[in-house]
């Protein structure tokens, strides 16, 4: 996507994050295990015994990572404490949580070795991401950078004619500083950054763009937009016949070309260079075969009308969203993007993911629930000040998933992996 100069300058500031260019470059560079050893890898992922699960918990505990809430050792949640999270409550759905890692990330905000919780009932999913994390980490880690943060809401106003629309906009657009002040009265964390207009006959859509701090911000921007619309209707020199708080142009909880080509939520790019020897040893195929498959996959995606081309972003996002208390419905828009694979001059595998619509936060919503808070703490992302870090971790995780699934396809092992890990044994039923 192209960006105005002001946005480009903002991205540069995010990448540097107060560091000199040399210091930022060093932070974003691979950290090879030969120079900086990785922490212990979670093992025995095919051992489903209680003893093996306890060993995994003990390993995480030895690193200061708690799983007490996930283990069910915490007190039962008082239904009253769930006000604002659920209506008509009758109980709790229990989804098993697995952990992937360590995953080495060299990000602008996320920098370290992470154990990533994922909640799923799909066999083979954790194994696949775990394998991808091992390859990426042994190659020095994934560089992951959160570039932009924009959340939108798009009210629509209907007038009698396009002439009235023109008069309306001529009055409204110079009032932008006042609109920003109104937003400031509704939230201490959100800011109105810009407003775009789309005229369709006698209707005009206003695309309000916000930053939302460390919250995913869906409710925040709705409340702010309601206040803006009320002020606009009360003060406009030409009254609209009708208006609605969202005219379905914002892309909320749906995949849209607009969000893909621009951004909605946090846009994150992650990349890694994977040495050919590691690719052959861990994925049982070659970089050349992976790139060949990726090119054919892109052609298939184009024919299907896919928005973006990627393997299975939704798999990883749904699992990590559930574990970390995110709005799972946002997977519908977050799971679009581009996976890029190419050969380096040395014959190694270059991989990148570009994810323009990561709607995620570390405060508000479901992030305060005990298991979600524990999963966020596992990532060092609990509470305020960590939303960009969380987004960079999510993108790096998606990179691992893309590496593993593409490797399985290229090696002809995709069906065998699901046959081995994704089917319940006869005693468990089908």
User: What was the pLDDT predicted at 35?
Assistant: 94
User: What was the pLDDT predicted at 288?
Assistant: 97
Location of structure tokens 């070659």:
286
Q: Tell me if 146 sits within 8 A of 392, measured CB to CB.
A: yes
pLDDT tens for 83-124 read 989 999 989 899 999 999 999 999 999 999 999 999 999 989
Q: Can 327 be counted among the known catalytic residues?
A: yes
User: What was the pLDDT predicted at 1?
Assistant: 47
Q: Tell me if 351 sits within 8 A of 287, measured CB to CB.
A: no
Q: Tell me if 350 sits within 8 A of 341, measured CB to CB.
A: yes
Kindly provide the residue ranges of all beta strands, DSSP E only, lying in 58-162, ordered along the sequence.
Answer: 97-107, 111-119, 142-153, 156-158
User: What was the pLDDT predicted at 429?
Assistant: 47
Q: Can 160 be counted among the known catalytic residues?
A: no
Q: Tell me if 230 sits within 8 A of 185, measured CB to CB.
A: no
Catalytic residue of the set 122, 194, 342, 413? 122
Angle (CA) 406-408-410 rounded to 5° is 70
Catalytic residue of the set 7, 189, 418, 421? 418
Q: Tell me if 122 sits within 8 A of 419, measured CB to CB.
A: no
- Counting other chains too, the contacts that 236-239 makes at CB distance below 8 Å and 24 or more residues apart are 236/168, 236/171, 236/172, 237/167, 237/168, 237/171, 238/159, 238/164, 238/167, 238/168, 238/171
User: What was the pLDDT predicted at 423?
Assistant: 65
Q: Tell me if 397 sits within 8 A of 100, measured CB to CB.
A: yes
Q: Can 421 be counted among the known catalytic residues?
A: no
b/e for 13-27, b at 16 or more Cβ within 10 A? ebbeeeeeeeebeeb
List of the chain residues with pLDDT < 50: 1, 429-430
Catalytic residue of the set 327, 333, 392, 402? 327
> Which pTM was predicted?
0.92
User: What was the pLDDT predicted at 422?
Assistant: 65
User: What was the pLDDT predicted at 4?
Assistant: 58
User: What was the pLDDT predicted at 11?
Assistant: 75
pLDDT tens for 186-235 read 998 899 999 999 999 999 999 999 999 999 888 999 999 999 999 999 99
Q: What is the spatial distance between Cα 89 and Cα 85, in angstroms, rounded to a whole number?
A: 10
Q: Tell me if 247 sits within 8 A of 234, measured CB to CB.
A: no
Q: Please, what are the domains in the chain? A: 5-44+93-148+256-423 (3.90.770.10), 155-244 (3.30.70.420)
Q: What is the spatial distance between Cα 271 and Cα 8, in angstroms, rounded to a whole number?
A: 20
Strand partners for 339? 353
User: What was the pLDDT predicted at 430?
Assistant: 46
């Amino acid at each position: 996507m192209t960006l105005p100069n002001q946005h480009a300058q903002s991205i540069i500031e995010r990448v540097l994050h107060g560091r000199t260019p040399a210091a930022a470059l060093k932070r974003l560079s691979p950290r090879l295990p030969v120079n900086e050893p990785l922490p212990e890898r979670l093992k025995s992922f095919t051992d489903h015994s209680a003893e093996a699960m306890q060993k995994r918990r003990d390993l995480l505990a030895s690193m200061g990572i708690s799983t007490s809430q996930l283990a069910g050792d915490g007190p039962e949640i008082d239904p009253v404490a769930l006000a604002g999270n659920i209506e008509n409550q009758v109980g709790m759905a229990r989804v098993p949580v697995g952990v992937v890692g360590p995953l080495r990330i060299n990000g602008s905000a996320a920098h370290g070795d992470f154990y990533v919780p994922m909640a799923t009932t799909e066999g083979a999913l954790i194994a696949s991401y775990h394998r991808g994390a091992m390859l990426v980490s042994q190659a020095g880690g994934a560089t992951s950078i959160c570039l932009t943060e924009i959340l939108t809401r798009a009210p629509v106003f209907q007038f009698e004619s396009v002439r009235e629309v023109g008069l309306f906009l001529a009055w409204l657009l110079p009032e932008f500083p006042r609109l920003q002040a109104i937003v400031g009265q509704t939230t201490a964390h959100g800011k109105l950054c810009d407003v775009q207009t789309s005229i369709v006959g006698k209707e005009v859509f206003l695309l309000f763009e916000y930053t939302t701090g460390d919250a995913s911000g869906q409710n925040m921007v709705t409340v702010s937009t309601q206040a803006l619309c009320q002020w606009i209707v009360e003060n406009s020199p030409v009254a609209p016949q009708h208006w609605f708080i969202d005219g379905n142009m914002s892309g909320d909880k749906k995949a849209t070309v607009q969000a893909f080509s621009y951004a909605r939520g946090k846009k994150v790019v992650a990349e890694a260079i994977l040495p050919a020897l590691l690719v052959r040893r861990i994925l049982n195929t070659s970089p050349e075969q992976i790139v060949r498959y990726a090119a054919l996959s892109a052609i298939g995606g184009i024919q299907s009308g896919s928005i973006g081309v990627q393997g299975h972003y939704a798999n990883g996002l749904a699992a990590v969203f559930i574990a970390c208390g995110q709005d799972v419905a946002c997977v519908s828009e977050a799971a679009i993007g581009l996976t890029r694979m190419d050969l380096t001059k040395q014959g190694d595998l270059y991989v990148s993911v570009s994810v323009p619509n990561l709607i995620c936060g570390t405060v508000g919503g479901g992030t305060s629930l005990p298991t979600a808070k524990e999963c966020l703490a596992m990532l060092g992302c609990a509470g305020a000040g960590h939303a960009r870090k969380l987004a960079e971790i999510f993108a790096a995780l998606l990179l691992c998933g893309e590496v593993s699934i593409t490797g399985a396809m290229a090696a002809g092992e995709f069906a065998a992996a699901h046959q081995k890990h994704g089917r319940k044994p006869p005693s468990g039923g089908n």
